[in-house]
Amino acid sequence: MASKKIGQATRKFTNPPIIIGTGTVVGPMEGRGPLAGDFDVVLPDLTCGEKTAEKGERKFLEQAAQIAIERSGISKDIVDYYIAGDLLNQIISASFSARQLAIPFLGVYGACSTCAMGTALGGMIIDGGFADYVLVACSSHYQTAERQFRYPIELNVQHKPTSQYTVTGAGSLVLASSGNGARVTWATTGKVIDLGIKDPCNLGAAMAPAAADTLLRHVADTGQDPDTYDLILTGDLGRVGSELFRELAKDAGLDVGNNHNDCGLMIFDCKTQRVGAGGSGCACPAVVTFGHVLREMERGKLNKILLIATGALLSPLSSQQGETIPGIGHAIVIEW
């Protein structure tokens, strides 16, 4: 027992789960961004030939999961668990994709932190001896998120400079108890942190304190210097949240200026693409990490990274009822 528990919230895998396959699908806008070459599929439009954006989201989530299974070289039938989530009410993208996949299903909700939470959970299930293969996936969609959380896109409401642009896409990976690939070695589970931000158009600011809290607890639990990591990757704080994250870390005595980047800033060219303060959505950290970062590891450019995926745990109703916006940051360490 003692060897796995490191502090209250960090866990060290004794038999680290291995990422044996990934699948990433993105929308046309993400396909014009700087990381386009690292995604498996760039969709020509936002509906995937379906009648509604929601059905389209479901379809490309299933596609990402299928690609991850194919790349793993295993049969779908031997996958023990499918852990998935998305931003839509009652996580319908995930649930309906689970109907199609017919794998025992565990639905999770962590907003944009879902990819890290699912990977950490899958890792614990594998390392605990309960599974040999776990499929993890999540998705988001600009149109489905806009109309659910903000305004129907037909209104063409102007975005604030602090607003982030929801990434259209899905990311998936297969974790295995043995095989070849990058390994997930540590996980630090987030606490819900709320410093009182009320503006649902400034989610980066709402999530930054949770990301910093998780970083500080990870460093305190493990004794790892932030410089140990080739990359400390937050996602998706965007421009505003990233600055706040670095300031909060600095205030606590940690300088992450050299090796920090944010998925929301990486996926788009924020100067030429009109994306406000950057990208967001479950798919943002998922496709950047499972697509781009893992390929950078294969290319020998990164060896050890800390992903802190962050979620804003609001609903339109909680905001309408005057609540502030709680945030959470789930961290995993991936090593090549």
Contacts of 112 (CB under 8 A, 6+ apart): 87, 140, 207, 235, 236, 280, 281, 282, 284, 285, 309, 310, 311, 312
Q: Which one among 70, 132, 199, 243 touches a second copy, defined by CB under 8 A? A: 132
Which part of the chain contacts a second copy (CB under 8 A), choosing from 4-12, 220-228, 264-272, 283-291?
A: 4-12
- Reference 142, options 200, 57, 62; nearest CA is 57
Radius of gyration of the chain (CA): 18
Give CA–CA dist 135/83, Å, rounded. 6
Site string for a second copy, 39-78 (x = CB under 8 A): ------------xx-xx---------------------x-
Kindly determine how many residues on this chain lie close enough to bind a second copy according to the rule CB under 8 A.
62
Alpha helices by DSSP H, 252-327? 263-266, 283-287, 294-298, 316-320
318: phi then psi, degrees, rounded to nearest 5: -65, -35
127 near a second copy, rule: CB under 8 A: yes
246 near a second copy, rule: CB under 8 A: no
Smallest gap from Cβ 295 to a second copy, in A, equals: 29
Q: Which one among 47, 164, 189, 280 touches a second copy, defined by CB under 8 A? A: 189
91 near a second copy, rule: CB under 8 A: yes
Give CA–CA dist 128/130, Å, rounded. 6
129 near a second copy, rule: CB under 8 A: yes
Q: Which one among 31, 209, 285, 326 touches a second copy, defined by CB under 8 A? A: 326
Token code pair at residue 317: 């109703």
Which part of the chain contacts a second copy (CB under 8 A), choosing from 27-35, 86-94, 164-172, 224-232?
A: 86-94
Q: Which one among 103, 176, 231, 294 touches a second copy, defined by CB under 8 A? A: 103
Measured from the CB atom, the residue of 29 and 313 that comes closer to a second copy is 313
The helix (H) or strand (E) run that includes residue 133 is strand 133-140
Cis peptide before 236, with omega less than 30 degrees from 0? yes
Measured from the CB atom, the residue of 291 and 327 that comes closer to a second copy is 327
Smallest gap from Cβ 226 to a second copy, in A, equals: 20
Contacts of 75 (CB under 8 A, 6+ apart): 69
The helix (H) or strand (E) run that includes residue 115 is helix 114-127
190 near a second copy, rule: CB under 8 A: yes
Contacts of 21 (CB under 8 A, 6+ apart): 67, 68, 69, 70, 71, 72, 73, 74, 173, 174, 181
Give CA–CA dist 160/69, Å, rounded. 39
Measured from the CB atom, the residue of 125 and 211 that comes closer to a second copy is 125
Smallest gap from Cβ 188 to a second copy, in A, equals: 8
Smallest gap from Cβ 99 to a second copy, in A, equals: 4
**Which residues are near a second copy by CB under 8 A?**
1, 3-5, 8-9, 11, 14, 51-52, 54-55, 77, 80-81, 85, 88-92, 95-96, 98-99, 102-111, 117, 121, 124-125, 127-132, 177, 189-194, 313-318, 321, 323, 326, 328
